A and B are shown apart, each in its own frame.
Chain A
Amino acid sequence: MSLKIHHLLGLEGVSADDIRLILDTAVSFKEILARKIPKVPTLRGTTVANLFYEPSTRTRFSFELAEKRLSADTINFTTSGSSVAKGESLKDTVWNIEAMKIDIVVIRHSASGAPHYLATCCKSTVINAGDGAHEHPTQGLLDMYTMREKYGKLQGLKVVIVGDIKHSRVARSNIWGLLTMGAKVAVCGPPTLLPVEMEKFGVEVHDDLDEALRGADIVNILRLQKERQKTGLLPSLREYSRYYGITRDRLDLLNDNFTIMHPGPMNRGVEISSEVAEGPYSVILPQVTNGVAVRMAVLYLLSGGKGKVDEE
């Protein structure tokens, strides 16, 4: 079994078979994480470079842990600001690191398409750990994994993504993945935080939260960057919280056995109330655990085929 994709740049256009293979493989990796020694020797001799051009703790930790659980060697390159500001182009940085013999590049970058650009100019396998407001495919996969773990399927689930859709790569990856897997997706946020022509994604678009929540199984709540208020996209956090914050009362609109998700980090009291974040229906922490398993699956599945076929 092999993935059709050779890099994981986004979930747009990734086939249902590929997504299913990644999620199925992640089930086996989740079992490994529960072992006494939660580590396998699979990627011994494989070197992974984690290039983080944007601050990140949880995604970086999650990738690094996934790499280490697979016995890969890892190197980390972390810088804030653009590569331009640093005086070396992204291409030169990667060529330099590649000269030290690496196999996989995990990249987080503030510019949309940076991983796609890298994939065209380097020999390594590229995994997108978040590019601008474009995609964050491993987050999309771990969200789908978490949903499937609870409901046993993705087909037919109704998922509402609430918040700053415009600037959210998490939203985009979730949308593409979920639509491919047969789920129904709705997005909801104030009009200034919804991208133009959103309905062309094939999702329902709402600016009324109650309307969006009615009859949904899963609510995926996005983090509201507080800077959005400063750039004039929101009148106040208070008003946002009042009209788009998920509180206990609103949960009654959802289907029985509903689920609350959040990619983190949370602004409690803004987009999500503490009560909701800690409710029994919240899978926010399982999402984090599953993130490691899903990333292990992605690393494993993309690391094959480096040499000649050597049949046993």
Chain B
Amino acid sequence: MAKNMTVKVMSDKSISLALNRIAHEIIEKNKGVDDVVIVGIRTGGAVLADRLKKILDGICDADVSVGIIDITLYRDDIQVKLDQPLVQKTEILFDLVDKVVVLVDDVLYTGRTVRAALDAIVDFGRPRAIQLAILVDRGHRELPIRADYAGKEIPTSKSERVEVHLKEISGKDEVIIDRSGRGGV
């Protein structure tokens, strides 16, 4: 892959700023974090959810509940894929009835992942509301879904690939766009 095919669109600094801004928006919109719980979508969203929790805890001197959701079993393409995706554990060890669930993912693209996550969350109980926080919104929605909190909106073409690297997983924080034509998230 040639070097000029990839462009860094967010640095570690801008990721950190974006998360801080999202945290403040969550507090503002919900008038505090008393009823707020955070659920991250495996795998990137789960990391971001943990970071958001820490920021919210720091600002509000609270202990916001955080969980992880694996949406594999709710995907709409399970029977057409040749390889069955690996099912990982969902960890929601708290009651989310009447809570405001902030669903966290790294990239918002077609909206199908979020659709699956919404179905999964509802199976755990009936939250008062579900809000969506996203680090990067790259457009091309295929479902009527939008983010309540977005770190950055990045217009892309479908042939481009958005890669979110996070310290906890790949050792560094950055968001890059790969224009080599491989497509995907």
Contacts and interface: CB of A to CB of B under 8 A. Distances in A.
Given A28-B70, A36-B124, A36-B125, A46 B89 contact: no
A197 interface: no
A312 B80 contact: no
B114 to A, nearest CB: 12
A305 interface: yes
Interface residues of A, number: 35
A1 B86 contact: yes
Nearest to A25: B87
B4 interface: no
Interface in B114-149: 119-120, 123-125
B61 interface: no
Q: Is the interface of B mostly helix, strand, loop or mixed?
A: loop
A35 B89 CA distance: 12
A297 B86 CA distance: 10
Given A28-B90, A31-B89, A42-B74, A305 B81 contact: yes
A186 to B, nearest CB: 34
A2 B84 CA distance: 5
A256 interface: no
B79 A35 contact: no
Interface string A16-55: 0000010011011101100111011111011000000000
Given A27-B89, A28-B87, A41-B119, A300 B82 contact: no
A304 interface: yes
A301 B75 CA distance: 14
B90 to A, nearest CB: 6
B83 A305 contact: yes
A28 B124 contact: no
Q: In the complex, which range does the number of interface residues on chain B fall in?
A: 20 to 34
Given A304-B82, A308-B80, A309-B80, A35 B74 contact: no
A227 interface: no
B74 A40 contact: yes
A181 to B, nearest CB: 19
B85 interface: yes
Given A1-B86, A25-B86, A41-B119, A310 B73 contact: no
A2 B82 contact: yes
Which residue, of A35, A37, A41, A300, has the highest number of chain B Cβ atoms within 10 A? Answer: A41
Given A40-B73, A42-B73, A304 B78 contact: yes
Contacts of B75: 42
Nearest to B123: A37
A306 interface: yes
A307 interface: yes
Interface of A: 1-3, 21, 24-25, 27-29, 31-32, 35-37, 39-43, 45-46, 70, 297, 300-301, 303-312
Interface of B: 70, 73-75, 77-91, 109-110, 112, 119-120, 123-125, 183-185
27 contacts: A1-B86, A2-B82, A2-B84, A21-B86, A27-B89, A28-B87, A32-B73, A32-B90, A36-B123, A41-B119, A42-B74, A42-B75, A300-B73, A300-B84, A303-B84, A304-B79, A304-B82, A304-B84, A305-B83, A305-B84, A307-B79, A309-B82, A310-B80, A311-B183, A311-B184, A312-B77, A312-B184
